[in-house]
Amino acid sequence: MARQFKLPFVDLDRVIETKAGTSISRIMERQGENAFRDMETAALKDAVGQASGVTSQVIALGGGALLREENRRMVESTGVVILLMATLETLLKRLTTSSDKRPLLKGNLRERLSSLLEQRRNHYNSFHLHVDVDGKTIQENMYHIQLLLGRFHLSAMAEYDVIVQNGGVENLGDMLKLHDLQNPIIVTDDNVAKFFAEAITTSLNNAGFDSKTVTFPAGEAYKNLETIQELWHGFLTHGLDRKSTVIALGGGVIGDIAGFAASTYMRGIQWVGVPTTLLSMVDASIGGKTGFDLPEGKNLIGSFYPPKLVLADPQILRTLPEAEFASGLAEVVKHGIISDPELLNLCAHGLDCVKDDLEKIVKRAMAVKIKIIEDDPYEKGYRAALNLGHTVGHAVELVSKFQLRHGEAVAIGMVAEAKLAERLTVATKGLSDAVAEVLSSLGLPVQIPTNLRREEIIQAMRVDKKKNAKAIRFALPAEIGRVELVDVTDLESVL
């Protein structure tokens, strides 16, 4: 966990042994359990004292370390406890070779262990964040821990933390300090500014920053070079230097233009993503793509320029118009189909349940994209799985002259591509119906509107993906949780 999050690591037992100059079993034998627990409390005090400085750290505790109320209070008031829980059988397997090193387990191992587990049952059950580790790999357990904490660390393109936290924007100032970021300027649009600029400015000011704000009119029409130029001038007017930090507070449009302006201003200054739409939380804010549109087409100019931090606060979505929210859900469903059946299941319960479970859903959906882009940051291979629904979706969006929102078009695209997968026997029959059912329950369209001409959609697909390409690579769903990249030459067969 410490390695994954790139945080300092403390193994409390090691600290105690180093300090005492002997092993824990010796301490127990010679001085008894109480003396050992006193040493444990003292070591914990030291470790926690260090943690309250500028950075976070991971502390490994023994199974009995929090039995003392004093220890538990100390730990829970300064951090978060994750309980790794294993069954008796798993523990027995692990301990048969090393039980002699564990003084509390001397004698009949099965008996001693089950009585210890029984004694501690209520204690262990009283921790909220549980990971059942039986039969799982370290990577699987780590994935689960990241979901529980709502904290991810990306390393493939650059090092940065992604944090999901209800109410998190109120702590933005402190988070900037923790990440050693300075002199912030907020870039946002007029819709978002209305709701959140004040709260965020207050958070920054309370943390000792003299925060500044630049606001633009909302909408894709402003994702252009003119806006970028205005931003560059704004940065100059506000005296931003190479150490300053751009805060992109908004949806995908703001993230793309603020990130691009940051990537080019003074050859690149730091930026932080604070996504405020569902789409930008689960998709646009992670992955490091920034850019703007030209009159000839969308996203034609851009750079790979990852932020230093992404803070997603699901509570911020409360003010998002319903249609924007549903549109973002199409990307969430997409991530479920790509590799998280449980996420798709959560979406299948309909809009109201999704809203109740929003924090969990945002974390899971972000986790899917993060896993893929960490494996393939520059889209040399499997990152293309994220294009699921987009080959048909982009074409439908274009031919509708953007009357359909991006997510609506992607929903239609996912069903069309699932049908294609069935015809190509990449998927078994019934998959497209299952996908359509979830999307419909969220209020998303699943059929190409009859007024859009199929020939135009096919032509748009051809133009969208390099005119000369003989085949178009589709990301097709093979089953819920698995996507295959398939080259399709006969485009007429797609619809």
Query: Between residues 190 and 342, which has the closer beta carbon with respect to ligand NAD?
Result: 190
Query: Between residues 131 and 192, which has the closer beta carbon with respect to ligand NAD?
Result: 192
Q: How far is the CB of 373 from ligand NAD (least distance, A)?
A: 9
Maximal CA-CA distance, the chain? 85
Q: How far is the CB of 278 from ligand NAD (least distance, A)?
A: 8
Q: How far is the CB of 200 from ligand NAD (least distance, A)?
A: 12
Q: How far is the CB of 223 from ligand NAD (least distance, A)?
A: 5
Q: How far is the CB of 279 from ligand NAD (least distance, A)?
A: 4
Query: Between residues 99 and 191, which has the closer beta carbon with respect to ligand NAD?
Result: 191
Q: How far is the CB of 487 from ligand NAD (least distance, A)?
A: 24
Amino acid at 423: R
Chain residue at closest Cβ approach to ligand NAD: 252
CB within 8 Å of 138: residues ≥ 6 apart: none
Q: How far is the CB of 329 from ligand NAD (least distance, A)?
A: 12
Query: Between residues 146 and 276, which has the closer beta carbon with respect to ligand NAD?
Result: 276
Q: How far is the CB of 195 from ligand NAD (least distance, A)?
A: 6
Contact residues for ligand NAD, defined by CB under 6 A: 189, 191-192, 195, 218-220, 223, 250-254, 256, 276-277, 279-280, 283-284, 287, 289, 298-299, 316-317, 319-320, 324
Query: Between residues 151 and 334, which has the closer beta carbon with respect to ligand NAD?
Result: 334
Query: Between residues 82 and 249, which has the closer beta carbon with respect to ligand NAD?
Result: 249
Q: How far is the CB of 344 from ligand NAD (least distance, A)?
A: 20
Query: Between residues 235 and 292, which has the closer beta carbon with respect to ligand NAD?
Result: 292
Query: Between residues 27 and 279, which has the closer beta carbon with respect to ligand NAD?
Result: 279
First to last CA, the chain: 46
Query: Between residues 192 and 442, which has the closer beta carbon with respect to ligand NAD?
Result: 192
d(CA 145, CA 138): 10
Torsion of CA 118, 123, 124, 126, to 10 degrees: 140
Q: How far is the CB of 193 from ligand NAD (least distance, A)?
A: 9
Closest CA to 275 of 168, 154, 153: 168
SS3 of the chain: the string is: CHHHHCCCEEEHHHHHHHHHCCCHHHHHHHHCHHHHHHHHHHHHHHHHHHHCCCCCCEEECCCCCCCCHHHHHHHHHHCCCCEEECCHHHHHHHHCCCHHHCHHHCCCHHHHHHHHHHHHHHHHHCCCCEEECCCCCHHHHHHHHHHHHCEEEECCCCCEEEEECCCHHHHHHHHHHHCCCEEEEEEEEHHHHHHHHHHHHHHHHHCCCCCEEEEECCCHHHCCHHHHHHHHHHHHHCCCCCCEEEEEEECHHHHHHHHHHHHHHHHCCEEEEEECCHHHHHHHCCCCEEEEEECCEEEEEEEECCCCEEEECHHHHHHCCHHHHHHHHHHHHHHHHHHCHHHHHHHHCCHHHHHHCHHHHHHHHHHHHHHHHHHCCCCCCHHHHHHCCHHHHHHHHHHCCCCCCHHHHHHHHHHHHHHHHHHCCCCCCCHHHHHHHHHHHCCCCCCCCCCCCHHHHHHHHHHHCCCCCCCEEEEEEEECCEEEEEEECCHHHCC
Q: How far is the CB of 286 from ligand NAD (least distance, A)?
A: 8
Q: How far is the CB of 215 from ligand NAD (least distance, A)?
A: 11
Query: Between residues 17 and 189, which has the closer beta carbon with respect to ligand NAD?
Result: 189
Beta-ladder partners of 215: 188
Query: Between residues 277 and 432, which has the closer beta carbon with respect to ligand NAD?
Result: 277
Query: Between residues 119 and 319, which has the closer beta carbon with respect to ligand NAD?
Result: 319
Instruction: Locate 300 and state its tokens.
Output: 């034609």
Instruction: Locate 455 and state its tokens.
Output: 């020939």
CB within 8 Å of 297: residues ≥ 6 apart: none
